[in-house]
């Protein structure tokens, strides 16, 4: 069964450092998303991406965040200068079309120290 | 603003007992509705979804949910809970008019006692 793959599963980084979280969406999917879940809290939407551009972003997704689809398979989330409050589980998701079922990756647990 | 409410933070049921997890949403438009399950440290697995049609939908692992437009609810049910169902359950709503994102509820942690 096709799945969304995220790497790494865990990442520890020092405050102020840049991190890149990687995702390989399902191959025929066209819409890509990042969500995050701070420990003990709800899953929150960060950004959606379609046709090589951001289609929507939340208030959380400020100038410190960026997304990119550098090639035909990867979808990345970059945090330029990490803060302690960026510590969270980050989930990548993809959908085949508009408002179809979202498939989530297993997540990357980011710890900023 | 769009919101999804799961009023129960924790629920404990005995193994073999029935289960109902509540979900209410606040939207002006017709939503798409989902239930996801998350085991500790794991990702989100889709249990079931509602897009249109029959308001009672069947999912995996013996779960079902019923969409009630008049109550803006999409409650998750299971007739007989198994110990392996212990996890956190998230209701999520997608609305086409608000883009493709999902808005999640705060989650309900299910504990199963033997």
Q: Residue B100 and residue A55: Cβ atoms within 8 Å?
A: yes
My answer on whether omega of the bond before A8 falls inside 30° of 0, hence cis, is yes
DSSP code string of B21-82: E--EEE-SSPPEEEEEEE-TT---EEEEEE-SS-SEEE-GGG-EEEEEGGGTEEEEEESS--
Give the model confidence (pLDDT) of B1-29 as tens digits: 678 999 999 999 999 999 999 999 998 77
Q: How confident is the model at residue A2 (pLDDT cuts 50, 70, 90)?
A: confident
| Alpha-carbon distance B21 to nearest alpha carbon in chain A (angstroms) | 16
For residue A58, list chain B residues with Cβ-Cβ distance below 8 A: 101
Say which residue the tokens 């990548």 belong to: A92
Q: Are A94 and A32 in contact (CB under 8 A)?
A: yes
| Alpha-carbon distance B91 to nearest alpha carbon in chain A (angstroms) | 10
User: Does residue B96 sit at the A interface (CB-CB below 8 Å)?
Assistant: yes
Give the model confidence (pLDDT) of A60-79 as tens digits: 999 999 999 988 789 999 99
Rounded Cα distance between B80 and B15, Å, is 7
| Alpha-carbon distance A46 to nearest alpha carbon in chain B (angstroms) | 9
Give the model confidence (pLDDT) of A93-113 as tens digits: 999 987 788 999 999 999 999
pLDDT of residue B98: 61
Give the model confidence (pLDDT) of A32-68 as tens digits: 999 999 988 889 999 999 999 999 999 999 999 999 9
Q: Residue B92 and residue A43: Cβ atoms within 8 Å?
A: yes
Q: Are strands B73-78 and A65-68 parallel, antiparallel or unpaired?
A: unpaired
User: Does residue B104 sit at the A interface (CB-CB below 8 Å)?
Assistant: yes
Q: Residue B34 and residue A55: Cβ atoms within 8 Å?
A: no
How many helices and strands in chain A, by DSSP H and E? 0, 11
User: Does residue B36 sit at the A interface (CB-CB below 8 Å)?
Assistant: yes
Rounded Cα distance between A47 and A94, Å, is 12
For residue A33, list chain B residues with Cβ-Cβ distance below 8 A: 100-102
Rounded Cα distance between A9 and A22, Å, is 10
User: Does residue B37 sit at the A interface (CB-CB below 8 Å)?
Assistant: no
Is residue A16 predicted with pLDDT exceeding 80? Answer: yes
């Amino acid at each position: 069964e096709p799945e969304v793959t995220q790497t790494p599963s865990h990442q520890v980084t020092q405050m102020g450092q840049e991190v890149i979280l990687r995702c390989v969406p399902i191959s025929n999917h066209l819409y890509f998303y990042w969500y995050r879940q701070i420990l003990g809290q709800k899953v929150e939407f960060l950004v959606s991406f379609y046709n090589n551009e951001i289609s929507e972003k939340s208030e959380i997704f400020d100038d410190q965040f960026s997304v990119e689809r550098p090639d035909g398979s990867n979808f990345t989330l970059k945090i330029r200068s990490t803060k302690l409050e960026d510590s969270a589980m980050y989930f990548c998701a993809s959908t085949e079309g508009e408002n179809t079922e979202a498939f989530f990756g297993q997540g990357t647990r980011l710890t900023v120290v | 603003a769009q919101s999804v409410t799961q009023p129960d933070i924790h629920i404990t049921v005995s193994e073999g007992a029935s289960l109902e997890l509540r979900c209410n949403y606040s939207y002006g438009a017709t939503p798409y509705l989902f239930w996801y399950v998350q085991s500790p440290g794991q990702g989100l697995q889709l249990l079931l979804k509602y897009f249109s049609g029959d308001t009672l939908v069947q999912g995996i692992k013996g779960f079902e949910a019923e969409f009630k437009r008049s109550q803006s609810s999409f409650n998750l049910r299971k007739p007989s809970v198994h110990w392996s169902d212990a996890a956190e359950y998230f209701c999520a709503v997608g609305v086409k008019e608000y883009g493709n994102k999902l808005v999640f509820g705060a989650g309900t942690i299910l504990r199963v006692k033997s």
